[in-house]
Structure 1
Amino acid sequence: MSPKQRRGAETVERLLDTALAVYAEAGESGVTVQALTTSSGVSPGSLYHHFGSVDGLMSALLLRWLGKLLDDVSTALARSRTARTGIRAAVRAYLAFVGEHPDAARLLHSSYADRLTMVQARQLRDSQEARLSPVAAWLERHVASGELAALPAPLIESMTLGPVVGVARRWLSVGDVDLDQAARVLPDRIWRSLEP
């Protein structure tokens, strides 16, 4: 990597890190060119050069953290021998991610992320295909073996992640949920809904 490419990569990382910090501190409305450039020390021209717009930067930030979350969940599944241990591990991995990265989780569970997902669902899914393919293969394998209920993969995904997302949103917004308790209780409850 040339020095110019290294500087460009460092600028991208600085802008992504700054965007998350600004979002965490000021919310969606606080993520402005002025706030980003002042906090990062990066020029507006560099922001536009690397991301095209603040929305482009925020989309890249969402994809970065979505990728990390999917990596954690995929890794949990891959390390599991049975469908039951896989579902339980995936639920725990998701909740652990939320607890370890609350600012990123708040962004991923935000109305901003919801709007982006509704508008760009197919593009987001396509951009994460490398991470989603192993999850789909894992589900197919365990449905075919009879370990998981014979349901379409999107339904299994919704039945698994729906309650987890609900708990995560509640913890992030209201704070009246104990994530450790949820990690103890939810995996088996969710598993029961997916048993064959």
Structure 2
Amino acid sequence: MLRNSANPFGLWITTLLALSLSLSAQGVNSADAYQLGAGDHILIQVFDEPDLSMSFRLSESGTVNYPLLGEVEVEGLTVRELEARITSGLLGDYLVNPDVTVAIEEYRPIYIDGEVRQPGGFPYQPGLTVQKVVALAGGFTERALRDRIALQPAKDPASEQSVGLDYTIRPGDVITVKRSFF
């Protein structure tokens, strides 16, 4: 006779692993479209030029002070566009054939508060939905109104809109899960 010996902890770990793999797969497909912004942590490497390889956290000004080039506007660029901008800046006067690679070491955070078990900030990943952020925050509390989720977009923090669980989050967004009084 078989018994159902499902371990709740094992199920929880399996769910988190599946979520992690899902986020990683989606990140690979949409990373080229991601636009850099304040709070992102990037690594710029130039092959065979260790003095030009360094890490930056993007400030509110949207620029980085890069050796030989000075202030470089980064806000709103994709990784590929930034690679091209640095390559063209180094080409000729400084290097013959610069091989520049830019990687995002850490995305700027998104935030969730209200009726979730672990409110706070989480690093953005391309493809995140409200439902995935709620899972990262430990799930809903017993008092959560699952159909009353508010979003303050990073682009317009003074506004608030109602969103569903399948809504795709953008970097810097703030999610608030409303409370049920009954």
TM-score (structure 1 length as normaliser): 0.29
- Which one has a larger percent strand, Structure 1 or Structure 2? 2
- Which one has a larger percent helix, Structure 1 or Structure 2? 1
Bigger-Rg structure (1/2): 2
TM-score (structure 2 length as normaliser): 0.31
